[in-house]
Amino acid sequence: MLRRLIGLASLVVVALGVAGHTHAQEHWKLGSIMRPPSFGAALDAEFRQAIGKASGGKLVVEHQFVANEQEMVQQVVRGRLHMGATSAFGAGVTIPDATVVSLPYVWSSEAQRRYVTDKYVFPQLKKMFAQKGLLLLAIHEAGYNGVFCKFACNTPASIKGVKARVSPAAASRIFWQSLGANGVSLPLSELWPGLEQNLVRAADLPFPFYSVTPGAQSAPHFVATHHLHHPWMYFANKRAWDRLSAGTRKAILAGLPDPNSVRDRWFEDEAKKLKAFAAKGGKVYLLSDAQRAEWQKLVEPTLLKWVKRLSPGSKKLFEEIQKGKREFAAMKK
């Protein structure tokens, strides 16, 4: 009888231990438009795994596909999702001032963008996210937009008067208007039939996304204008984050992937995709700094006019960017 009681007691202890371990481990969901086998989805997975490792297995983050970035951000705000990953445009409905970082030709070089983003943009965006009950964790990479056309369009003069797809974002209107294009407002879902039917003959998207769409066949000329950048921002619901222990939060932040390593790998992967596209008959136009400047000089006057009409929050972020750019220029000298 005593032996049986000892055995039962042991089972209870084991069961309580298992229950306690299960309770200590939290399962979160991270919303993202990225889906395998895209490289962006692989980077999302690395980010989630880094959190699990840094937390010592206390926090397990799973992927939740959400096709609409704006809706996904709202789900994180409401606590239906614990975390999210989005572009500045995706955050635009909830945090409209954030879209300043994706204005056309706000950046003059990749090195400048990295320096200013990490030192000046990140702290300012972190404040904006906090006002919505969100914690900005990191700014990684989603690439630059390039122009793609149904014809050779590697000079800005070739765009004048051409019917081009304009997205709802102000940055898109600024860009195409500056080039003298005949803008046609279309949701992304209608772009592909629009190209087939010659409703539009040009548009712009990041190459990794463009290359797996029907546009790569109907409009096979891609120009690496790098006119508009998409930061990839990871963020969490602040209430959920604050429920983690201070030690776990500190360990997670220390264990996140290095932003510059992610950026380097993104562009290495993009370069491989560009070569593969060209090998299959696609037309790729890689611009020199001087060639890219020809596009930029047409856009800047419109951009500066638009900046005067910015909201106070957007102006503050724009001013921080300019401050960082001046500091970067002084360092280069």
Instruction: Please report the pLDDT score of residue 19 as a whole number.
Output: 42
Among 178, 182, 179, 183, CA closest to 302: 178
Structure confidence at residue 333 as a pLDDT band (50, 70, 90): confident
User: Are 228 and 144 in contact, with CB atoms under 8 Å apart?
Assistant: yes
Query: Residue 287 pLDDT > 50, yes or no?
Result: yes
Query: Residue 275 pLDDT > 60, yes or no?
Result: yes
In whole angstroms, give the CA distance from residue 166 to residue 173: 6
Query: Residue 17 pLDDT > 80, yes or no?
Result: no
Instruction: Please report the pLDDT score of residue 5 as a whole number.
Output: 45
Instruction: Please report the pLDDT score of residue 10 as a whole number.
Output: 46
Instruction: Please report the pLDDT score of residue 115 as a whole number.
Output: 98
Alpha carbon dihedral 165, 321, 300, 266, in 10-degree steps, equals -50
User: Are 252 and 59 in contact, with CB atoms under 8 Å apart?
Assistant: yes
Query: Residue 13 pLDDT > 60, yes or no?
Result: no
User: Are 290 and 72 in contact, with CB atoms under 8 Å apart?
Assistant: no
pTM: 0.90
Q: Which of 4-8, 193-197, 288-292 bottoms out in mean pLDDT, i.e. has the lowest?
A: 4-8
Structure confidence at residue 4 as a pLDDT band (50, 70, 90): low
Report the pLDDT averaged over residues 316-320: 96
Report the pLDDT averaged over residues 280-287: 97
Burial class (CB in 10 A: 0-12, 13-18, 19+), 233: buried
Report the pLDDT averaged over residues 44-69: 97
Percent of the chain's residues with pLDDT above 70: 93
Report the pLDDT averaged over residues 270-275: 97
Centre a 10 Å sphere on the Cβ of residue 298 and count the other Cβ atoms it contains: 19
Query: Residue 2 pLDDT > 80, yes or no?
Result: no
Structure confidence at residue 114 as a pLDDT band (50, 70, 90): very high
Dihedral pair phi/psi, residue 58, rounded to 5°:
-75, -25
For residues 1 and 77, the model is more confident at 77
Instruction: Please report the pLDDT score of residue 22 as a whole number.
Output: 42
User: Are 277 and 211 in contact, with CB atoms under 8 Å apart?
Assistant: yes
In whole angstroms, give the CA distance from residue 108 to residue 83: 32
Which pair of tokens denotes residue 217?
């066949």
Taking only the tens place, the pLDDT of each residue in 27-50 is 999 999 999 999 999 999 999 999
Query: Residue 177 pLDDT > 50, yes or no?
Result: yes
Detail the DSSP E strand segments found in the chain: 26-32, 59-65, 83-86, 134-149, 163-166, 182-185, 202-206, 221-237, 283-286
Structure confidence at residue 168 as a pLDDT band (50, 70, 90): confident
Query: Residue 26 pLDDT > 70, yes or no?
Result: yes
- What is the set of domains in the chain, with CATH numbers? 26-332 (3.40.190.170)
Could you tell me how many helices (H) and strands (E) the chain has, helices first? 14, 9
Taking only the tens place, the pLDDT of each residue in 201-254 is 999 999 999 999 999 999 999 999 999 999 999 999 999 999 999 999 999 999
Q: What's the mean pLDDT when you consider all of the chain?
A: 93
Report the pLDDT averaged over residues 167-174: 92
Report the pLDDT averaged over residues 265-287: 97
User: Are 73 and 90 in contact, with CB atoms under 8 Å apart?
Assistant: yes
Among 171, 113, 121, CA closest to 143: 113
Taking only the tens place, the pLDDT of each residue in 116-149 is 999 999 999 999 999 999 999 999 999 999 999 9
